[in-house]
Amino acid sequence: MATATLSPVDTDKLSNLKSAVASLNQISENEKSGFINLVGRYLSGEAQHVEWSKIQTPTDEIVVPYDNLAPLSEDPAETKKLLDKLVVLKLNGGLGTTMGCTGPKSVIEVRNGLTFLDLIVKQIEALNAKYGCTVPLLLMNSFNTHDDTLKIVEKYANSNIEIHTFNQSQYPRLVTEDFSPLPCKGNSGKDGWYPPGHGDVFPALVNSGKLDALLAKGKEYVFVANSDNLGAIVDLKILNHLIQNKNEYCMEVTPKTLADVKGGTLISYQGKVQLLEIAQVPDEHVNEFKSIEKFKIFNTNNLWVNLNAIKRLVEADALKMEIIPNPKEVDGVKVLQLETAAGAAIKFFDRAIGVNVPRSRFLPVKATSDLLLVQSDLYTLTDEGYVIRNPARSNPSNPAIELGPEFKKVANFLGRFKSIPSIIELDSLKVTGDVWFGSGVTLKGKVTVAAKSGVKLEIPDGAVIANKDINGPEDI
């Protein structure tokens, strides 16, 4: 542990915290030691500052262009061999609260009445059926989503797919003022705790016993992705490349657009590939970091990791990812959450690489504006559960969509559209105020719809709006 560099004050803090945490019977010994370890590292101030002058742009050997990956064998038996080594893991700890939903975000309906989880299950079922393999699906839940997810996965009981769930760690929130665990202050409900970010996926896999069970079945690689990224589907070319080249870790990156300037990027640093996040960038270099010219790629959080390597590194306590301090307030009490991100682990794995993938592999749904895109005619849904972009759109990038607060919650968003407009030829849409869309509306070019305060503005059925600013019925 990192106590060697602690000041006497911090040593006392950690010692008191350790005693307090020992009395928390809601969490396991593994969780207690993991938490104390994280806090010890945080207090020792081991944050690694990147020396800007030592940053190098990764070569094509380190960040491999997708088109450079070897073609796959046409033999279905070879494909089955690849798939038999694979496990798919979706990060399922998030709640749909930002979109006004209760329960896991993965059960928001995306298209044709199907949820994120329905689509994921459909995709893996189709692979298992086509190649006669058994790719299992693992869902990493948090204590927030665990109970609901267990109920939800019951509906897949008769599917051609093994579904396993496990929980990521549960850590106590730290009271900033005196560095004590919030649950010791009488806040023993869910608000006293937090899940420590998706960097916890590696220890959680080991501690849950899932990793050993997978290794015993001959599994070698796990494909980890956010459950809300509709583009994160199994890609055999990537898996084949990793097996052939013995790469223990692969991060999918994709070219940055102006919408992604804050996303983490891959760099070569002191001979290793490393994730550089905006939080690590010295203030005077932030604009350079955001430039699309110098840092051309960003992390999609689609990760491929060797299971034996995870076991080796977790057991050696070697995965010391950068700590992300996340200050919050609970019932007026200032608290601190210490978190880590799975992408930051790249530098600890042998022969780690990035693959620069097409943008189609990054289709996250973070807000109702993203839901509008994937529910529109810009995308179609295949029988196997894949969301495919409509080739009728010639512009490679998606329209920029901004919806006002009236559309923030899914229920309100759905209520305000009789049907989702046609947006194949749309460049941008900005909607503010009390706006309602009829059915069969078509939007093209740059469209702004701004209802005046206190006025309900209805876009009539079948309206075609191209390159217009609409402030009232007279503008339609």
Beta partners for residue 245, in sequence order: none
Listed residue (404, 303, 297) closest to 356, CA to CA: 297
For the annotated binding site for substrate, the residues are: 198
State the distance between the two ends of the chain, measured CA to CA, in whole angstroms. 66
Q: Which helix (DSSP H) or strand (DSSP E) does residue 136 occupy?
A: none
Binding site as annotated, residues = 105, 168, 197-198, 228, 366
Closest CA to 349 of 265, 244, 204, 246: 246
* Phi, psi of 278, deg, nearest 5: -60, -30
Strands 180-181 and 174-175: antiparallel
DSSP conformational letter for 422: B
Transcribe 330-399 into DSSP letters: ETTEEEEEEE--GGGGGGGSTT-EEEE--GGG--B--SHHHHHHHHSTTEEE-TTS-EEE-TT---SSPP
* Residue numbering of the annotated binding site for UTP: 105, 168, 197, 228, 366
For residue 138, the cross-strand partners are: 89, 164
> Any idea which residue has 């030592």 for tokens?
54
Q: What is the DSSP string of 40-109?
A: HHHHTT-PPPP-GGGEEPPPTTTEEEGGGSPPPPS-HHHHHHHHTTEEEEEE---BSGGGT--SBGGGSE
- DSSP β-ladder status, 55-56 and 265-269: antiparallel
Distance, CA of 139 to CA of 127 (rounded, Å): 18
